């Protein structure tokens, strides 16, 4: 039987016959590849400079080597931090956590989790008549440095609004793939240590400023 190429395989309608011929094609290709490698190894053994040349020319591609330059990516934070004047490093954070109006059990459970993770936090149940401005004013009058609002819709946590007091800035972070600690196999209990925030892919100039 004459050897079958990949183009001819496409014209064969019988599935079993096509699979059989495809297996034969792959076998022949692998056989030919091993034969070429064996011949090349023998030649390179006699002439080591050929192997050195091949290795220099056949540099494997990586994610970094294929990366397209993006001018928004910053290798380091350039100039002054735009938000540095808003934060007083000597002042200990005092944080109030609340929810969106009409919050459900999921939002309250998530608030409890945040309180276990973030030090010096207080939870206040959001009354429906109070707006975000009302909550911010409430916090400022009681010397809170930050307000965290858990956004929940249809019994699903979908975001966090972070407000630095008294005059901003304000950030909104989407929340996805949220998994409660009790559903994590082998999870441990929170300790009193100050948590570490892991920030991945905050690589643009704006991202570094936010981080």
Instruction: Find where tokens 């409660």 sit.
Output: 180
Can you tell me the distance from the alpha carbon of 123 to that of 112, in angstroms, rounded to the nearest whole number? Answer: 8
Write out the residue range of the structural domain in which residue 30 sits: 6-59
Pairing mode of beta strands 170-174, 156-164: antiparallel
Rounded to two decimals, the pTM is: 0.58
Residue 119: which CATH number? Answer: 3.40.50.10480
Residue 184 within any structural domain of the chain = no
How confident is the model at residue 55, as a pLDDT? 80
Q: Are residues 170 and 106 in the same domain?
A: yes
How confident is the model at residue 2, as a pLDDT? 54
Residue 183 within any structural domain of the chain = no
Residue 36 within any structural domain of the chain = yes
Which among 22-26, 70-74, 80-84, 110-114 has the top mean pLDDT? Answer: 110-114
Residue 188 within any structural domain of the chain = no
Q: Report the range of poorest mean pLDDT among 14-28, 75-89, 107-121, 196-210.
A: 75-89
Q: Once rounded to an integer, what is the mean pLDDT over residues 98-104?
A: 87
Q: Are residues 123 and 205 in the same domain?
A: yes
Both structure tokens of 108 = 């309250």
């Amino acid at each position: 039987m004459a050897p079958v190429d990949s183009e001819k395989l496409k014209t064969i309608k019988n599935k079993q016959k096509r699979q059989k011929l495809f297996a034969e094609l792959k076998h022949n290709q692998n056989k030919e590849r091993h034969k070429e490698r064996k011949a090349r190894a023998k030649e390179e053994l006699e002439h080591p400079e050929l192997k050195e040349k091949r290795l220099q020319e056949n540099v494997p591609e990586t994610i970094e080597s294929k990366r397209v330059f993006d001018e928004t990516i910053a290798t380091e934070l350039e100039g002054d931090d735009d938000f540095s004047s808003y934060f007083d490093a000597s002042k200990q954070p005092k944080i109030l956590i609340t929810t969106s109006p009409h919050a459900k059990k999921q939002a309250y459970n998530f608030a409890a989790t945040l309180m276990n993770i973030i030090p010096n936090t207080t939870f206040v149940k959001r009354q429906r008549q109070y707006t975000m401005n009302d909550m911010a004013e409430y916090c400022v009058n009681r010397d809170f440095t930050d307000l965290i609002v858990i956004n929940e819709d249809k019994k699903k946590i979908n975001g966090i609004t972070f407000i630095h007091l008294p005059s901003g800035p304000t950030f909104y972070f989407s929340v996805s793939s949220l998994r409660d600690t009790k559903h994590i196999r082998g999870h441990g209990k929170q300790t009193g240590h100050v948590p570490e925030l892991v920030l991945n892919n905050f690589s643009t100039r704006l991202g570094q400023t936010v981080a």
